[in-house]
Structure 1
Amino acid sequence: MKEIKPAILMFVVFTIICGGIYPAVVTGIASVAFPRQAKGSLITDKSGKEIGSALIGQPFSEPRYFWPRPSSTTDFGYNPLASGGSNSGPTNPDFIKTVGDRVKALHDTGVTGDIPADLVEASASGLDPHISPEAAHVQIARVAKARGMGEEELAKFVASHVEERQLGFLGEPRVNVLELNLELDKL
């Protein structure tokens, strides 16, 4: 019985320290050192209205926009509360049909040749805001035609929005679709 009182006291003390004080200190430091990131890397329009996050993909389907990587989240695409992949493998008939339908849809818009996997397969989280530079490149003809731009001009614009590897060696070069589309709308 005499061990119960110290155990309960330690439980209360560690709950206050680990569940209250530590998270408050870390949040405070993050808010001062990285204010934009601590608030979710939110992107705002000209009027200051929040329109999305640089960390979560957004659905785009109009021909004048670059299309993102497909989302496999439930209820609706890019649902952050339902983050997760489909867990379907390359031998799953539903997965094969879904990928085939996506490839056909891209071919129907005028995309020719090989289609990068990130345009037809969802990411593990279903929320990835980036596509590969190759995935952006195969969409240039469609977007340029819809916007009345030259393909060469648009290709240079896309190239200027490629994010390189982090620290020069982590990850792959990528393009944030939301940021690219917002910048295109400003032109």
Structure 2
Amino acid sequence: MQTLLSSLRITVATMAICVGGYSAAVWALGQAVTPDTAEASIITKADGTIVGSRQVAQAFTRPQYFWPRPSAVNYNGAGAGGSNKSPTSKDLTARASQAVAAYGATGQNPLPAELAAASGAGLDPHITGRAARYQVARIAAARGIAAEEVEQVIDRSLFSPGGVFTPDRLVNVLEMNLALDGIQVR
């Protein structure tokens, strides 16, 4: 009986340290170093209504919005993952062909690869400035505004996550779409 009680005490102490202590330490480090990402990078309207996260893509299909990269998991944050399909897969080829058709890409106006291919997790909220600019004409026409206004939204949204080590500047699709709608976010 003495051995059983000693084993239980060791088990409880180990669980408290490894589960509770480790989790608390990782949480505290996240809060100290990057508090915004530690709290899921939630985007809210000025009135406090939650509209999404800066770190998880959402499906936008209406022509007046920027469209994100395709998602192999239908933008489901609970099931992140790629399709694990081979480049020779007929399903993958069909999905890319649908994307090319949806954007109206041609040989003279080729679609940026990221708009036809899903990211590894299927939830990438960013596209390159080039992919955003590819969509300007469609968005401007659908909204009945000048293409320059859409270009200004892109220019204000561009950032380099890796500084000088990131050759392509990126934009967050959700944030740009909110800017197009004139929604003030926090």
TM-score between both structures, scaled by the size of structure 1 = 0.86
Contact 2:82 2:118 in 1 (8 A): yes
TM-score between both structures, scaled by the size of structure 2 = 0.86
Distance 2:167 2:80 in 1: 21
Could you say what secondary structure the match of 1:168 adopts? Answer: helix
| 1:21-32 map, 5 Å | 21-31=21-31
> Residue in 1 aligned with 2:115?
119
Distance 1:171 1:83 in 2: 26
Match of residue 76, structure 2, among 64, 76, 79:
79
Deviation at 1:78, TM superposition (A): 0.7
| 1:110-149 map, 5 Å | 113-149=109-145
Distance 1:111 1:137 in 2: 17
- Give unmatched runs, 5+ long, in structure 1: none
> Residue in 2 aligned with 1:18?
18
Identical counterparts, % of pairs: 38
Contact 1:44 1:50 in 2 (8 A): yes
> Residue in 2 aligned with 1:98?
95
Contact 1:111 1:138 in 2 (8 A): no
Distance 1:130 1:105 in 2: 19
What is the number of equivalent residue pairs in this alignment?
183
How large is the Cα RMSD of the aligned pairs? 2.6
Higher relative contact order (CA 8 A, sep 6+): 2
Amino acid at match of 1:159: D
Could you say what secondary structure the match of 2:181 adopts? Answer: helix
- Give unmatched runs, 5+ long, in structure 2: none
Deviations 1:112-150 (A, max 9, x none): 611011111111101110111111011000111112222
Which deviates more from structure 2 when the two are superposed, residues 31-40 or residues 17-26?
31-40
